[in-house]
Amino acid sequence: MALIVQKFGGTSVKDSERLKEVARWIIKTKELGNQVIVVVSAPGGMTDSLIKRAKEINTTPSGRELDSLLSVGEQISASLLAMTINQMGHKAISFTGAQLNIKTTGEFNNAKILEISSQKITENIDRGSIVIVTGFQGVNEQGYTTTLGRGGSDTTAVAIGAALSADQVEIYTDVDGIYTADPRVVKSARKIPEISFDEVIEMAGKGAKVLHCRSVEIAAKYNIDIHLRSSFTWEEGSWIRRNENMEKALVRGITHIKDLAKLTVCQLGDNSCLQRVMGAIEDNNLDIKLVNQGIDAEGKFELSFILEEREAIRISELLKDRLKGNGRVGINLSLGMVSAVGIGIRSNRLQGSIMKLLNDRSIRSEMISSSETSLSFVVPQKDVNSLKQAMHHELIEKTLLA
């Protein structure tokens, strides 16, 4: 008997027909002799709808009230799915994050799971019930509802898998696995049957909308296999697991992010100016994609950041105010980042090959970053798709044909 955690995304539970289809699959898994725990997201589009409605009333709602509102979507999915399974003749019971006492940190809208009590779940699966849990939510020390950030139901599922030593976690979405590139941009992209935790974490951080990054970090920590697959085809998807062949270098995917900007702060005369810049960045909890620090010809500090356009515009005005003329702030909009992801990338000297691609296409690179698992190029946004297609052809398709 295996203990399996199955997570279903919003498109999988968006209406009654989808709920019935999902219920039949869950029952099939149970009838094969498995114990089943199910984690659900809000019905497709509901979270966005609730956020929109909240902001029609209050453009800056408090984090506490917003989390209280957003947690409703997952409760609807969990209760309706339990009703559907019960109607089909099997036992199912739903729980909210609060009912299971999923303890989180105090941050509203982006809390992190601290602890999951397994008692209620274990008691009910031992009685033969299918246990359905609301994803994306928990409670903080004060007993207030918190949410885990967009995509947080993935993290709930893997955290429950870790707490109960599940045999595997299955993540069901509207895509049938992880691809070597976004198939909407690169038509020749291929599904990856098996990929390592480190590679998926890097891909997620570089723009691939595959899984909630924190869910993969938990899976890696507790060595829990994740099977990402489609609830529309039910076919074998992509397995995410520990990679035992770390020395075998291979580019696994080409990812991209658009709507970025380069924020440059230069002519910083001393450490106090530098500290004011870094303090502003830290205070505003910005998602910095890349950062570079250097010294100009006059011996003054210079900092460059790659971040989202809207954040760059906002923080540039704040920096001008804080520096009070002791430095210059510049911003370059309409950028994107294309990354090659895979184990051992830096040691395989791929940078020269990609630089040639850039030169052949007269594409200007604003910034380059490399690590053991990724190589990233910041380029004008208009060149992102063509560079991604060229890198996919050069680094993946040619390798497969070799």
**228 pLDDT more than 90:** yes
At 226, the amino acid letter reads I
Q: Domains of the chain: which residue ranges?
A: 3-174, 253-401
CATH domain 3-174 topology? Carbamate kinase (3.40.1160)
CA count, 13 A, side-chain hemisphere, 213: 12
pLDDT value at residue 342 = 87
**Residue 89 CB coordination number (10 Å):** 7
Q: Of the segments 88-92, 305-309, 345-349, 358-362, which one has the largest average pLDDT value?
A: 88-92
Distance CA 49, CA 94 (A): 23
Q: What is the mean pLDDT of the chain?
A: 90
**Residue 150 CB coordination number (10 Å):** 13
pLDDT value at residue 270 = 65
Distance CA 258, CA 338 (A): 9
pLDDT value at residue 273 = 66
Question: Sorting pLDDT into bands at 50, 70 and 90, what band is 193?
Answer: very high
pLDDT value at residue 245 = 56
pTM for the model stands at: 0.86
Q: Put the strands of the sheet holding 145-147 in their side by side order.
A: 113-115, 103-104, 137-139, 145-147
Contacts of 211 (CB under 8 A, 6+ apart): 151, 154, 171, 200, 204, 226, 228, 240
pLDDT digits over 82-93, tens only? Answer: 999 999 999 999
Distance CA 15, CA 293 (A): 51
- Average pLDDT for residues 142-152, to the nearest whole number? 93
pLDDT digits over 102-143, tens only? Answer: 999 999 999 999 999 999 999 999 999 999 999 999 999 999
Strand-pair partners of 367: 378
pLDDT value at residue 180 = 94
Q: Token pair 């895509």 is at which residue?
A: 175
Question: Sorting pLDDT into bands at 50, 70 and 90, what band is 242?
Answer: confident
Identify whether the C-beta of residue 112 lies closer than 8 Å to the C-beta of residue 104: yes
**271 pLDDT more than 70:** no
CATH domain 253-401 topology? VC0802-like (3.30.2130)
Burial class (CB in 10 A: 0-12, 13-18, 19+), 186: buried
- Rg, the chain, Cα only: 23
Identify whether the C-beta of residue 43 lies closer than 8 Å to the C-beta of residue 75: no
Question: Sorting pLDDT into bands at 50, 70 and 90, what band is 246?
Answer: very low
Cα-based distances in Å from 85 to 27, 92, 94, 329, 398? 8, 6, 11, 59, 48
**57 pLDDT more than 80:** yes
Strand-pair partners of 307: 261
Better-predicted residue by pLDDT, 284 or 3: 3
